Structure 1
Amino acid sequence: MRKQNITKDIHKYLKYDWIQFLLTSLICASIFFLVTYSNVYTETYDIEKFSTANETIRSPITIENTKETDSRIREAVQSVEDHYEISLEVADERVSAVHEIFEAIEKVESEDLKKTLSLPSVTIDDKISYLKDLVQDEAIREIDDQVFLSLFEASPENRMLAKELLTTALNDAYHTGVQIEEENKVIESIQQKLHYSTLDNSFVRSLYPLISYGVEPNSFFSADKTNEAQQRARENVEPVMIRAGEIIVEEGKLITNEIYEELKITGLLNEERNIFPLIGLSLLLLLLASMMFLEMWHAKKKKALKLSSLIAIIIISIFIASLMKVVSFYTTTVNPLYFVAPIAVASMLLKILVSERLAIVFSIFYAMVGSVIFNANIPGLLNMEAGVYFLITQLASIYFLANVKDKMAILKAGISISLYNIVTVSLFLLLSFEKYDWLDYLMFSGYGFLSAMFSTVLTIGMLPFFESGLGIISDSKLLSLSSPNQPLLRKLLIEAPGTYHHSIMVANLSEAACEAIGANGLLARVGAYYHDLGKTVRPHYFIENQMGMKNPHDFLDPYESAEIILQHPLDSAEMLRKDKLPKEIIDIALQHHGTTLLKFFYYKAKEVNEKVPESEFRYQGPRPRSKEAAAVSICDSVEAAVRSLNHPNQEEIENIVTSIIKDRVLDGQLNNSSLTLKELETMKSVICETLKGIYHSRIQYPKEESIKEAK
């Protein structure tokens, strides 16, 4: 008893559309989670240092090895040499001082010192003393007098040569910079240069103190320049990255400190890090689920989504997700088998069975899920190439599957899809950096062609399952039911030919009316073909089948006649159920009279008894619950009424159509059909135009007797 109550509660709640949509969205999201779980979940390892790897381990993510990067930065900084700043002022000052000494010697040699110094005779000491007085530099007094003695004793040519060699060597040394710790080396270098000249070695040695006097450090350590150089070295160091999919350790190799550190960095030793990719995947799928729910709610406003359609969405989602997962097991970077995955079957089935808009939306969802499934099991990576390919092939299938009149329409769509697949695959190959030969282009293009063909075959093969197994009525199913060779239609034609032709007329009117308001015209047409099938039980009791015979109702009382007439919608529904026709067709047959009053026999009965209850002369219904059923209901009455006129004109047609629609509205027959007043007005206009085209005025040709008399 308790289980029965629980079952009743479940059925009660499932009647609400929003609960059905929510469950469908959550089931689809759960399916996607199950197939993508392994693509974001990373296996962790219990490994110790200096042990042997039992298997080849790859990095699941792309991450920087900060410790190795820091180590390389330190090495780069340490390799930077100290930077010095050269002082040109020191160089100018020292070279000028040496130059001044040689000029002073020349002046002393050229000047008459006897007069200048007021001495009877001038000795070498007097020249040296006078020289030191001329040069305004205290440091010159520290130079040994032997240097000056050698200079005064040297010939002018040797002095000039010594001057040029010494100043040139000093300029060269100061230009490259003289550091404190290199001062002695620079002095020795200049001495060496002078020894290689034509000057006498003894004379060169006497100049050593002057060389030391001319050399002074002019290159000083620069902290700013050194820091700038170190900073440039830091910036030039590329981060050490561990790439996703990169082998960290091969099977049988030793786990060194470096390898262990990489395993730790990539999270392969930390089981807690696996929760984050799963949370991210859950958020993505919940986002998709919410969008599914909103889209189904939007679709409900325009077209009722039945439970069978929702079940079809779930089955298709399971099939496509499983198909992509299986293909991913055999896909490698060298052999991208996702090009051959027949994912377009999902979009084609959804367009045929549900709606085009939902097919487009779910195409986006399947493409996103596919980009996760084919990510080579690398968390955080989306295979955008696979995602874009899946999206293009599905959108192409939706576009080219325009009118599903027969199986050939699906085959034609498959050929168009294959062209788009080949172009898309070629596009990816041309955009890649890798070089492919013509054999690769042919092979991968073949994948795209096979994908389209597999999608076509699967669509044709799976469509009957959904139509019969779930009772979903598609355009192709409706078209097959509209064939005159259908057993029930042949039965109607043979046993009730007048009703058959009446049904054809109602079908034309109903289809035109439904297409004008955006309803399913094809469903209305096929429903109209079968709506009066119950009249074949007693065909001669209906006036359209009484060809040259008396009306049987003339011999029956109104109650018996009403019972026969009121029974035909029920008989139609019963016959259709017996032959397992779609529920939508059965509903139209059952609802096309609604609960209207059979006025002729009702008023005939009232002639005998004024207190006749209306309920005994009303159809059992129910009232039309869809726009298509309402259209058939109106067109059925309109066609019968107009056909009863001898020569209907435009005014009479408009009056009859207006009267019947008004009567249906006032009687509440259209309250459950969701038709608006604007749609009723549109239907009225289309029905009138169609009837005018059928009953247009024709030329009255004279009879043969009249022609003979005229002659």
Structure 2
Amino acid sequence: MERILGTLSRNQSLIYKVFLFIASTFLIIYLFPKGGQFKYNFQKGKPWQYENLYAPFGFTIKKDAETLAAEEQKIRANTVPFFNVKKGLVNEVKINFERLLNETYIDSLYDISVSEIKQTGIKLVDNIYEKGVTDQIYPYNDEQLIYLKNDNTITEATFQQLLQVEKLDEVIGQPFANAKTDRNEVLLKKILNRVVQSNVTFDKDLTETTIASQIETINPNRGIIEKGGRIIAKGEVVEGDTYQILDSLRAEYQSQVWSKSNYLWLIVGYSLLVMLVLLMLFLFLKQYRPEIYNNSTKITFIFFNILLMVLLTTIVVKLDAKYVYVVPLCILPLILKAFFDARLGLFVHVLTILLLGFIVPNSFEYIFLQIIAGIVTILTASELYKRANLFISVGQITLVYIVGYFAFILIHEGNIENVAIENFGYFVLCGLATLFAHPLIYFYEKLFGLVSDVSLLELSDTNSKLLKELSDKAPGTFHHSLNVANLAEAAAQEIGANSMLVRVGALYHDIGKMANPTYFTENQVNNVNTHSELDPIESASIIVGHVIKGIEIARKNKLPDRIIDFIRTHHGTSLVYYFYKLELETQGEAAMEDFRYPGPMPFSKETAILMMSDSVEAASKSLKNPTSTKIDSFVEKIINGQMEQGQFLNSNITFKEIELIKKVLKKKLNNIYHLRVEYPE
């Protein structure tokens, strides 16, 4: 049991990678469409590039979208609209009419009796409400057939049989057309205009329900292709009915209900392809980025971003595939370049696009555009801590999308008449969404503990709380750190290392000296050496202790681990040689372990550069009457000594790069000491 637990403990990193590999494969397959993939790529207006195609099974020919839309429009145009008739309103109008008539009728003013006027008015009300009254304007002609729904009874009528309220006076005036006086007509018009109300309203819900039920009956098919029938010959142009038949066959492949055995083979096929893609990522990391491969957090971060892009694209495609280009896929290489490097960013971007090719329609067009956009992203997005750079890069990415998409439209359509301007708007939205990279970088830094150039820029501010404290407590150390930062940054730029990371690491590498600043010569102002009263072992312990103290201070101030690495490694496993020699001289013997820094040795180019720059800058202060020759020789001596001790064995740095670093350090120190060529007297 103990042996098994020990084996698991030793291989926990490998076990985690296997788990991540399997879990990612499962999640991606779960998001994939559950249908067959059509094995032919074709474009409208282009020749068929494959052998003669015969129907592998019988299938129906689907109507195109335009035909279905036309049929739907025809149904809407021919559907009879429904109108609701308000129950009991006619009786209410009659009662109100009689009441107002009794209140306004005066015998002396009219030449007929109130009963005659009442009788005429009641007939007019019946005539007015024969079909119904409406006060709304509807887009129907007079001959339009309509249904009048009164409770559970539905009657037919034409639209012109409904009385418009504005035509009420014409109906009231008809009984009095031959009358000698218009007093009676005026009275009736006055009363009826007050009491007559609309009793017919358009029933939108019932009408739309009827339209929907009729649309459902539309047959989406327009024919049948029998199994074995020839669909298209090699070299034949894909257009017209042939294109629609091929599109129907592709839809049948992708949407048909698979049997249990077929579905199992489908999953096996997807699994092999997805695992192949993810395996390529692992092999790339192991071969070319071992520091990332051995870091579980960084691998998790990369896989998380791949899964996030697959998830977003799947959701958008399921909602509406035409919005697929709104997904800001170029955020992926932007983020990976910000945290790692351009080569890894582009590699992961391409692998992600290969996975998305199974999800999106027009996969060739999609893959082409996204790869080009990813390349542009990698080439243009640099120094993201400068806000303008991201905007410029996003503008270029958007332009490439638009130009590429326009080119595909020309290829597919052969003209610009059918260009849909709104499609270009999707690329603008994609560009705007890509600007979300900045807040996303900040979120990832907090979630995964990573460091980007944006954070490095903030940490490089010498007015930050920690560096101000270093300046106040140990001004000599602060000045030394600035000098080292300048040297290291120049050396990193020369060999193509991360100069911003090296600079920040140099600024913070000696913060541990704040605990005992006067024990370090750069902070001693009165030529009083506090080590003169201490044993060499005690002095060495204090000197070595500034590394441990620095790590404690860094963690307390929540500095990123990548910066703490510089504090841990800037002396490697070297000896505090001065006190070691002093102990040998005074005691006759000395244990090297008591005078050695705890390490580890530098394990990256950046940490190796800091070790060289720190040692050279500190030693340069002991030079008396420095000359160019002296500087060259002591730089060679210090760095060669570190190489002989094996301090750079783990840092993946070449002899050529070390020689370039020496050259930069020599040049910079010559500039610092303002050395000139000695002129003859």
Normalising by structure 2, we get a TM-score of 0.65
Match of 2:305? 316
Gap change, CA 1:57 and 1:363, over 3 Å in 2:
farther
Counterparts in 2 of 1:326 and 1:434: CA distance versus 1, 3 Å: farther
- Structure 1 residues 58 and 280: CA distance shift in structure 2, 3 A: farther
Cα offset for 1:13? 1.3
Match of residue 562 from structure 2? 584
CA distance in 2, matches of 1:567, 1:247: 71
| Equivalence for 2:344 | 358
Contact 2:286 2:293 in 1 (8 A): no
Choose which of 658, 670, 674 in structure 2 pairs with 1:692: 670
Contact 2:477-2:523 within 8 A present in 1 as well: yes
Deviation at 1:55, TM superposition (A): 10
What is the correspondence of 1:22-421 to structure 2 with a 5 Å cutoff?
25-38=21-34, 40=36, 65-66=226-227, 243-245=246-248, 268=257, 270-300=259-289, 306-332=295-321, 336-375=322-361, 383-421=363-401
Q: Distance in 2 between matches of 1:603 and 1:541?
A: 18
Uncovered stretches (5+) of structure 2, i.e. residues with no partner: 39-215, 232-240
Letter in 2 for 1:449: V
Tell me which amino acid in the other structure corresponds to 2:227: T
The amino acid across from 1:309 in the alignment is K
Distance in 2, Cα, partners of 1:451 & 1:569: 47
One-letter amino acid matched to 2:386: D
Q: Tell me how far apart the structure 1 counterparts of residues 336 and 224 of structure 2 sit (CA, whole Å).
A: 41
Which residue of structure 1 lines up, in the alignment, with residue 402 of structure 2?
422
Amino acid at match of 2:34: S
Q: In the TM superposition, what is the alpha-carbon distance from 1:295 to its structure 2 partner?
A: 1.9
Check 1:642–1:278 CA distance in 2 against 1; reply closer, same or farther (3 A cut).
Answer: same
What is the identity, as a one-letter code, of the residue corresponding to 1:292?
L
Kept in 2: contact 1:597–1:619 (CA 8 A): yes
Instruction: Describe the SS at the equivalent of 1:373.
Output: coil
**Distance in 2 (alpha carbons) for counterparts of 1:515 and 1:15:** 34
Q: Residue 6 of structure 1: CA displacement? A: 6.6
What SS does the corresponding residue of 1:398 show, helix, strand or coil? helix
SS at match of 1:357: helix
The change in CA–CA distance for 1:14 and 1:601 in structure 2 (over 3 A counts) is same
Which amino acid counterpart does residue 310 of structure 1 have in structure 2? I
Which residue identity does 2:403 align to in structure 1?
V
What percent identity do the matched residue pairs reach?
30
Contact 2:35 2:258 in 1 (8 A): no
* Greater helix proportion: 1
CA shift for structure 1 position 693: 2.3
**CA spacing shift, 1:434–1:8, aligned 2, 3 Å:** farther
Q: Distance in 1 between matches of 2:367 and 2:35?
A: 15
Q: Report how far residue 532 of structure 1 moved.
A: 0.4
Contact 2:337 2:344 in 1 (8 A): yes
Offset of residue 676 of structure 1: 3.5
Name the structure 2 match of 1:462. 440
Please report how far the alpha carbon of residue 447 of structure 1 lies from its aligned counterpart in structure 2 after TM superposition: 0.7
Name the aligned partner's letter for residue 632 of structure 1: L
8 A Cα contact 1:340 1:448, kept in partner: yes
Change (3 A) 1:369 1:245: farther
How far off its partner does 1:467 sit? 1.6
Is the counterpart of residue 679 in structure 1 residue 662 in structure 2?
A: no
- 1:406-457 Cα shifts (integer Å, max 9, x gaps): 344323322222222222333333333287769x643111110110110221
Q: Cα distance, 1:466 vs. partner? A: 1.9
Counterpart for residue 626 of structure 1: 604
Q: Give the equivalent residue in structure 1 for 2:164.
A: none
Task: Find out whether 1:544 has 2:542 as its counterpart.
Answer: no
Equivalent residues in 2 for 1:525-564, closer than 5 Å = 525-548=503-526, 550-564=528-542
What SS does the aligned partner of 2:586 have?
Answer: coil
| Cα pair 1:634 1:661 within 8 Å, conserved | yes
Distance 1:67 1:431, change over 3 A: closer
Measure, in 2, the Cα distance between the counterparts of 1:649 and 1:500: 26
* Bigger Cα displacement from structure 2, 287-296 vs 628-637: 287-296
**Alignment partner of 1:471 out of 449, 452, 459:** 449
Matched, 1:442 2:421: yes
Mapped to 2, the partners of 1:574 and 1:442 lie a distance apart of 59
Q: Secondary structure at the match of 1:620?
A: coil
Q: Distance in 1 between matches of 2:242 and 2:395?
A: 49
Which residue of structure 2 lines up, in the alignment, with residue 433 of structure 1? 413
- Cα distance per residue 1:201-227 (max 9 Å; x no partner): xxxxxxxxxxxxxxxxxxxxxxxxxxx
State the partner residue of 1:12: 10
- Distance in 2 between the 1:555 and 1:340 partners? 71
User: After the TM superposition, which residues 558-573 of structure 1 pair with which residues of structure 2 at under 5 Å, given as runs?
Assistant: 558-573=536-551
> Would the alpha carbon gap of residues 477 and 498 (structure 1) be closer, same or farther in structure 2, given more than 3 Å must change?
same
Aligned residues: 491
Conservation of the 8 A alpha-carbon contact between 2:37 and 2:253: no
Deviation at 1:328, TM superposition (A): 0.3
Contact map agreement 2:365 2:408 (CA 8 A) in 1:
yes
Q: How far does residue 500 in structure 1 lie from its aligned partner after superposition?
A: 0.9
Find the aligned partners of 1:411 and 1:452 in 2 and give their Cα distance. 9
Query: What is the CA distance between 1:559 and its match in structure 2?
Result: 2.9
- Within-5 A mapping of 1:597-676: 597-676=575-654
Listed one character per residue, the Cα deviations across residues 518-554 of structure 1 (whole Å, up to 9, x for unaligned) are: 4333222211111100111111111111224522223
Distance 2:224 2:32 in 1: 22
Match of 2:158 in 1: none
Q: 1:599, CA displacement in angstroms?
A: 2.0
Distance in 2, matches of 1:36 and 1:57, equals 29
SS of corresponding position for 2:653: coil
**Structure 1 residues 58, 690: CA separation in 2 closer, same or farther (over 3 Å shift)?**
farther
Residues in 2 aligned to 1:309 and 1:408: alpha-carbon distance in whole angstroms: 28
Cα distance in 2, alignment partners of residues 627 and 510 from structure 1 = 11
How many angstroms apart in 1 are the aligned matches of 2:596 and 2:468?
Answer: 30
Deviation, structure 1 residue 349: 1.0
**Equivalent position amino acid for 1:315 in 2:** F
- Structure-2 separation of matches of 1:264 and 1:504: 66
Distance 1:611 1:56, change over 3 A: farther
User: Helix, strand or coil for the counterpart of 1:637?
Assistant: helix
C-alpha offsets along residues 138-196 of structure 1, whole Å, 9 cap, x if unaligned? xxxxxxxxxxxxxxxxxxxxxxxxxxxxxxxxxxxxxxxxxxxxxxxxxxxxxxxxxxx
The answer to whether 1:522 aligns with 2:500 is: yes
2:48 corresponds in structure 1 to none
Q: Give the distance between the partners of 1:605 and 1:399, measured in 2 at CA.
A: 57
8 Å CA contact 1:39, 1:372 repeated in 2: no
Cα distance in 2, alignment partners of residues 472 and 7 from structure 1:
31
Question: How much is the aligned-residue C-alpha RMSD, in angstroms?
Answer: 3.5
The change in CA–CA distance for 1:323 and 1:434 in structure 2 (over 3 A counts) is farther
